Amino acid sequence: MAVLDDRLGLLSHELFSQVDLHRLYGGVVPELASRDHVQRLLPLVRQALARAGTTLAELDGVAYTAGPGLVGALLTGAALGRSMAFALGVPAVPVHHLEGHLLAPLLEDRVPPFPHLALLVSGGHTMLIEVRGLGDYHLMGETRDDAAGEAFDKSAKLLGLPYPGGPELARLAEQGRPGIFEFPRPMLDRPGYEFSFSGLKTAVMLAVREGEAAGLGADGQRRTDIARGVQQAIVESLVGKTARALDDTGLSHLVVAGGVSANRALRDALHSAATARGVAIYFPRFEFCTDNAAMIAVAGLARLKAGGQAQHLAIEARAQWPLMSLRAPGT
């Protein structure tokens, strides 16, 4: 839950992380996630309003995540968001989760202009998008199989790291030596802007097993070297294709968003690639890389300001919702 003011910016943002709950089961159990949402939402709304020093009556609109995702969890937030808007007599704005990620840099002082290239890297998506305007997205390439975040998480699991593995693996990789493990970067030498990460987990599994067979424990230098190799393979694949897309399009602004954009090695490598090309690069601050309410508020506000939204009373919650099906407001 976040409170955003058009003039003053972000007034408050509250997050109740379900990570502890998910960790118990090594991943998300949908029914538990939605039940937990029911319990957490109202206290979170009160807390965010109090921290912002505002009241419900002052709100001019309510944005909520309408998809894509687990429909039970979505429905909980959507029902609350739509009902609040109805009760307050203000518009409700159903927001696409990935549009939230794409627009998260709008929360910062330095705002990327249109058009720009966006690398969207999360637990479920890996996409290169030419962003021509709000709701005007042209997909240049995406992953053929696993998402970058998924590759981080699955490799982390193979290394015995707790859920969610991405940040844990990144931490381990810092102590690893570069170049000891060379994992595949399957699409890098092929034309186009597509990614593939599913081969990585097989290669990591083999490396882990090889170590075990040789009597090397699961801990120690070998494990950190594998983590370093995994991170390197993912980062190089992402940076290689992003650099190609920048060169081919001539776009001079690059946005990097989604959970994996919190990865330090990725940020550094993209920063170098962009700087070498005279391209300006924009990241959300760390806390707004991974899922958060502030990005949904900023996307909702952008759509609300642009107008052209039909107001109806439906509670929108879509498990499937292709980003490319979005349109610019009023079109």
Binding positions for Zn ion, rule: CB under 5 A: 122, 291
Residue 290 as a binder of ligand KG4 (CB under 6 A): the answer is yes
- Complex with ligand KG4: residue 52 or 70, whichever CB lies closer: 70
| Residue at 171: amino acid letter | R
Residue 170 as a binder of ligand KG4 (CB under 6 A): the answer is yes
Q: To the nearest whole angstrom, how small is the minimum distance from the Cβ of residue 250 to Zn ion?
A: 29
Residue 166 as a binder of ligand KG4 (CB under 6 A): the answer is yes
Residues 119 and 103: their CA atoms lie apart, in Å, by 12
Q: To the nearest whole angstrom, how small is the minimum distance from the Cβ of residue 296 to ligand KG4?
A: 12
Q: To the nearest whole angstrom, how small is the minimum distance from the Cβ of residue 103 to Zn ion?
A: 12
Residues 92 and 304: their CA atoms lie apart, in Å, by 9
Q: Among residue numbers 115 through 134, which ones bind ligand KG4 (CB under 6 A)?
A: 122-124
Tell me the number of residues near ligand KG4 by CB under 6 A: 18
Q: To the nearest whole angstrom, how small is the minimum distance from the Cβ of residue 318 to ligand KG4?
A: 15
Encoded one letter per residue, x for contact with ligand KG4 by CB under 6 A and - for no contact, window 255-284 reads ---xxx-xx---------------------
Q: To the nearest whole angstrom, how small is the minimum distance from the Cβ of residue 19 to ligand KG4?
A: 10
Backbone CA torsion sign across 145, 151, 154, 155 = positive
Q: To the nearest whole angstrom, how small is the minimum distance from the Cβ of residue 6 to ligand KG4?
A: 25
Q: Among residue numbers 13 through 42, which ones bind ligand KG4 (CB under 6 A)?
A: none
- Complex with ligand KG4: residue 99 or 291, whichever CB lies closer: 291
Query: Judged by CB under 6 A, which stretch of 130-138, 161-169, 216-224, 315-323 contacts ligand KG4?
Result: 161-169
- Complex with ligand KG4: residue 170 or 323, whichever CB lies closer: 170
- Complex with ligand KG4: residue 61 or 164, whichever CB lies closer: 164
Give the chain as a 3 state SS string: CEEEECCCEEEEECCCCCHHHHHHHCCCCHHHHHHHHHHHHHHHHHHHHHHHCCCHHHCCCEEEEEECCCHHHHHHHHHHHHHHHHHHCCCEEEEEHHHHHHHHHHHCCCCCCCCEEEEEECCCCEEEEEEEECCEEEEEEEECCCCHHHHHHHHHHHCCCCCCHHHHHHHHHCCCCCCCCCCCCCCCCCCCCCECCHHHHHHHHHHHHHHHHCCCCCCCHHHHHHHHHHHHHHHHHHHHHHHHHHHHHCCCEEEEECHHHHCHHHHHHHHHHHHHCCCEEECCCHHHCCCCHHHHHHHHHHHHHHCCCCCCCCCCCCCCCCHHHCCCCCC
- Complex with ligand KG4: residue 19 or 42, whichever CB lies closer: 19
| Residue at 30: amino acid letter | P
Binding partner selected for residue 149 from ligand KG4, Zn ion, none, CB under the kind-specific 5 to 8 Å limit: ligand KG4
Q: To the nearest whole angstrom, how small is the minimum distance from the Cβ of residue 278 to ligand KG4?
A: 27
Q: How far apart are the first and last CA of the chain?
A: 29
Question: Which residue among 14, 99, 225, 291 contacts ligand KG4 (CB under 6 A)?
Answer: 291
Q: Among residue numbers 137 through 156, which ones bind ligand KG4 (CB under 6 A)?
A: 149, 152-153
Give the distance between the most distant pair of CA atoms in the chain.
Answer: 68
Q: To the nearest whole angstrom, how small is the minimum distance from the Cβ of residue 28 to ligand KG4?
A: 10
Which positions lie near ligand KG4, rule CB under 6 A?
A: 122-124, 149, 152-153, 164-167, 170, 258-260, 262-263, 290-291
